[in-house]
Structures are given as structure tokens and as C-alpha cells.
Amino acid sequence: MSIPDTANDFRGRLAAGSELSGSQKLMILVLSMTLYGVGDLVCQIIPELEAGPFQIGVSYFAFIAVVLAALLNPFWVALGAPLGELVFADMLLGDFGGFGELEGFLQTALAIFVAGTLVRNPRSLKQLAVAPVVMVLIDKLTGAAVDILKVVVGIDPETLEDADGLFSALLFIEGSDIVITVILSGILFGALPAMWLAPRLYGKIEPIMGLRPRDPQNPPTMRGPWGVNIWVVGALVFLVAGAITMFAQWEEFVGREGIGTFGAFEPDYIDQFGDFYLWIAILIAAAVGFGAFIVIKALRSRSATTVERRSSDRA
């Protein structure tokens, strides 16, 4: 016999750790891409109800992303799900929006990541109910901010100065859109299905992929392979929450003053406006920062694997 019976090529191997391997990350990414992408297609098949100017339709199945992010590693789900929307629905249907897709990707990724970290125990109905609503709010608020920014940048400053009512109208539209989306996508197709689905899948879907179910005592956000600090996430959430508060006040103001004083131009309108700009800037900065964060982490994990591979080659 050429090999002695006592030979053990695998002696130097470390015992399977709790960190995700590259292939497990890829598995999570592909799974969330596929499911969210199919969900997006189904969304388009569910008929939309048009009541007057309002289009009441399900814009996306928030529950799919939230359930996946609640059960599996939220970071990779946050990358995979918007990618699914991008390639399954948008690219394949020839509905690819170019630069617009990039901003959509970042918004959705941020929203899913935050929502996923909120669910520390996939059996907790309370956390499952909150997460989809938070997801929709983050996604829609950043989206609204970007939309408004587009108008601000897109209109000649001179015209903009005289453009009474445009912003009120815009805010009203974005605001009503957010309310409808929170109800339909955040609650009806978000919180309710997530509360039904996540506990059923908990402990079933993870072993299929060779993963350990999420431990409520030790949710993955506390210490991830890419060093996500809970404080970083907290800071992001805080920023966004601040924006939400600010926006709510602003909307209230417009709602009362705008409609109450038809045609009248209030001087402090401009002041509020300045603040609002600031918040938009902060939101964009948060989104860009998150994007940069993702890129840096991805690069770092890549170089880490290369080092690993090199060292194993040497061994």
C-alpha cells in the first residue's frame, strides 16, 4: 500500500468555524437574488388598482427580503435582493434604468440591511412586524429625497425661485406614495406575511444550505466577518430616523400651511427649505457612505481570501 493507514492529510485543517465561507456567502446571495427577483416579477402580475390619480399597487414584496435577512446573514441578503430586482425584473424586461438603478440598488440594500439587523430573533412577531415597515420607510424616504433632489437640480434656479407650489405638490405626491406603500408593501405584503413565513422557515432553510440558524442570544450583526459594528448600524439608523422626524415635521407644516394658505407665499418657507436641503444632503451622504462601506468591505474580504489562499498554497 502506497499510503500508510495513519496518514491524515486533513490534520492541519481548522475545525469548521462559525464564520461564513465564500461559497456560503455566494449561496445566500444567489438565493436572495432569485427569490426577490421572482417576487418582483409576481408583483408585476398582480393587477393594480387605479383609484383616481392614485395607483394602488404592490410595489414590491418586502416580506421576501425581510424574511431572508431575518434568517440569513443580512449583509449578503442586502446585496443579493436588490441585485435580483435589477437583473430578474429590470434587465431582463428591458426596463433597465441606467444610473437610476444604482440609486435604487443602494436604497434597497440599505433598507434591507437595517431591517435584517432589527430582527434578532426570527420567532419574535414584534420584530418581524417592525422590520418590513422600517424597510419600506428607509427605501421610500431615501427615494423621495433623491426624487426631490432631481427636481431641485433639474430646474433652472431662476425658474425654481418663482415656482410656487411645485414643492408642496411634489411633497404631497411623495408623501401620499409613502403612506400607500407603507400600508400595502410594508404591512399587507410586508409585516403580515413575514410574521407568518419567518417562524415557519426558521430552522428549516438554514440546514439545507449548511448554515446554522440565527441564535437570538447572538445575532450576527454584533460581530460579522466584515467587522460590522452595531454602533455603525445604529448611527445609520439614527441618521435615517432623524430624517424621518424632520420629514414628518416638514410634511405637517406643508399640510397645514400649504393648503390653508392657497397661493400665499410664506417667507419662512425658504428657511424650512434650507433645513430640508441639509437633510437631503445627509440622507444622500448616508447612502453614499453605506455604498462605500460595502465596497471597502468587499475589497477587504477579497484581499483576505487571497492572503488565505496564498498561505494555504505555501503550506
One-letter amino acid for residue 245 of the chain = T
* CA gap 6, 189 in Å, rounded: 58
Task: Report residue 148 as a C-alpha cell.
Answer: 426631490
Cβ distance to other proteins smaller for residue 165 or 227:
165
Min dist CB 139 to other proteins, Å, is: 20
Of residues 159-178, those binding other proteins (CB under 8 A)? 159-166, 168-170, 172-173
* CA gap 232, 138 in Å, rounded: 16
- The residues, any chain, with a CB within 8 Å of residue 183's CB and separated by 6 or more, are none
Task: Report residue 184 as a C-alpha cell.
Answer: 400595502
Does the footprint of other proteins cover residue 151 (CB under 8 A)?
yes
Does the footprint of other proteins cover residue 218 (CB under 8 A)?
no
- Angle (CA) 221-138-97 rounded to 5° is 110
Does the footprint of other proteins cover residue 53 (CB under 8 A)?
yes
Min dist CB 102 to other proteins, Å, is: 11
Q: Which of 208, 212, 166 lies closest to 73, judged by CA?
A: 212
Cβ distance to other proteins smaller for residue 200 or 223:
200
Does the footprint of other proteins cover residue 64 (CB under 8 A)?
yes
Does the footprint of other proteins cover residue 278 (CB under 8 A)?
no
Min dist CB 261 to other proteins, Å, is: 8
236 in helix, strand or coil?
A: helix
Helix (H) or strand (E) holding 107: helix 99-118
- The residues, any chain, with a CB within 8 Å of residue 24's CB and separated by 6 or more, are 209, 210, 211
Q: Which of 131, 136, 146, 197 binds other proteins (CB under 8 A)?
A: 197
Region from 9-17, 116-124, 129-137, 271-279 binding other proteins, contact rule CB under 8 A: 9-17
Tell me the per-residue interface mask from 245 to 274 with other proteins, x by CB under 8 A, - otherwise: -------------xx-xxxx----------
Of residues 102-121, those binding other proteins (CB under 8 A)? none
Whole-number CA gyration radius for the chain:
23
Does the footprint of other proteins cover residue 129 (CB under 8 A)?
no
Q: Which of 60, 81, 94, 247 binds other proteins (CB under 8 A)?
A: 94
Does the footprint of other proteins cover residue 191 (CB under 8 A)?
no
With cell 433598507, the residue in question is 111
* Count of residues interacting with other proteins (CB under 8 A): 108
* 51 phi and psi angles, rounded to 5 deg: -110, 100
Cβ distance to other proteins smaller for residue 122 or 240:
122
Cβ distance to other proteins smaller for residue 35 or 286:
35
Q: What is the DSSP letter of 135?
A: H
Does the footprint of other proteins cover residue 125 (CB under 8 A)?
no
